[in-house]
Amino acid sequence: MLLRRLPWTVVSAAAPFPLHSSIGVFTPIPKQLAFSPLSFCSTSDLHLTHHPDKPEHEPDNRRPQHLKPGLYLVGTPIGNLEDITFRALRVLNSADIILSEDTRHSGKLLHHYNIKTPLMSYHKFNESHREQLVLRRLKQGEIVALISDAGTPGISDPGMELAKLCVSENVPVVPIPGPCALVSALSASGLSTDEFTFVGFLPKHSGSRRKRLMASAEQTATQIFYVPPHKLSQFLEEGSSIFGDTRKCVIAREMTKFHEEFWRGSLGEANHVFSTRLPKGELTILIEGQANSKAEPPSDTELENELRELIENGESLSTAVKLVTGRTSASRKTIYSLALRKFGKQLEVEDDSS
């Protein structure tokens, strides 16, 4: 999805020692597995062998398992090739065909893991034409895997429409969990993760873009955007003017790669810092939610009930309006107009009878 470049950095793995590399420190490989050296730029196969200490009765979960026909949405690394799961590799290796956003880019990943499954291009420019062809193959009982350039298919990437079509046609859709830039950025952002809104890429049209930003600025949830590097300056200028200069933000780039960076500060500070600095790679930007949401104005029914209670307890119309105005976010003009409409004639009758 994001960060299309693969990290061409050599990393070796040899159990049982921990892995140390320029990318980070990794956990030890389990004793049951022994890997041949892995190189992000080599054509070495990935070999899995039994360790002598492994009990004979322990099941081998790495042996090929039967996959039912269907569409498999397979998450792939967003930068670091080590972030792919054994299950993802098994599905890609077992599929009849792999739908790929960019076959040349995905071919590097498959070549690295010696996966020979045929690739078929599937991107935003041809997905409407490919859908029926893919659906026919699925109904014939084939296993179809869908991957994006990086991350999880269907999340700001091709796949959503195909998944919807398969669901409507009762074709199984199976998620194979993996990396996702928005979740990775959110987990390490330091902003609230209790509630968040994933906006993704903003509209290109200025009016639509500002309208979407204004809607996000009113929310209390953390807002998450995908921003191309050449549009960062535009985003920060518009964002700081709509959200306010003091709103906290986090700019994540090159996640899982050697130059991974999380920039933290206010929108105003970001606008100043990045006015002269153009970072590389697509960006995930998070903005904290509004601290105090604006109180939703009460309904006419709620106002009417409060006014009625006060008037029945002996308060005059003007006093009741004054008291309700002080309790709610509704304007005095709105409350007074409602009071006259609902209780004006009633009070006139009571005054005449007295």
Q: Read off the CATH number of the domain in which 238 is found.
A: 3.30.950.10
Instruction: Give pLDDT, residue 278.
Output: 87
User: Do 199 and 111 fall into the same domain?
Assistant: no
User: Do 308 and 336 fall into the same domain?
Assistant: yes
- 38 domain-assigned: yes
Task: Specify the pTM.
Answer: 0.65
Contacts of 38 (CB under 8 A, 6+ apart): 11, 12, 13, 44, 46, 81, 82
Kindly list the averaged pLDDT for each block of 10 residues, start to end, along the chain of length 354.
41 37 38 38 38 45 70 96 96 97 93 96 90 96 96 92 96 96 96 96 93 93 96 95 94 95 96 91 94 73 87 85 83 88 66 49
Instruction: Give pLDDT, residue 346.
Output: 61
Instruction: Give pLDDT, residue 65.
Output: 59
User: Do 29 and 150 fall into the same domain?
Assistant: yes
Pairing of strands 70-74, 143-147: parallel
User: Do 23 and 83 fall into the same domain?
Assistant: yes
User: Do 167 and 106 fall into the same domain?
Assistant: yes
- 224 domain-assigned: yes
3-state secondary structure the chain: CCCCCCCCCECCCCCCCCEEECCEEECCCCCCCCCCCCECCCCCCCCCCCCCCCCCCCCCCCCCCCCCCEEEEECECCCCHHHCCHHHHHHHHHCCEEEECCHHHHHHHHHHCCCCCCEEECCCCCHHHHHHHHHHHHHCCCEEEEECCCECCCCCCCCHHHHHHHHHCCCCEEEECCCCHHHHHHHHHCCCCCCEEEEECCCCCHHHHHHHHHHHHCCCCEEEEEECHHHHHHHHHHHHHHHCCCCEEEEEECCCCCCCEEEEEEHHHHHHHCCCCCCCCCEEEEECCCCCCCCCCCCHHHHHHHHHHHHHCCCCHHHHHHHHHHHCCCCHHHHHHHHHHHHHHHHHHHHHHC
Instruction: Give pLDDT, residue 302.
Output: 87
C-alpha–C-alpha distance, residues 117 and 163, integer Å: 21
Instruction: Give pLDDT, residue 308.
Output: 87
Instruction: Give pLDDT, residue 309.
Output: 84
Instruction: Give pLDDT, residue 294.
Output: 56
Domain count, the chain: 3
Instruction: Give pLDDT, residue 12.
Output: 35
- 226 domain-assigned: yes
- 5 domain-assigned: no
Residues of the domain holding 232: 182-287
User: Do 214 and 238 fall into the same domain?
Assistant: yes
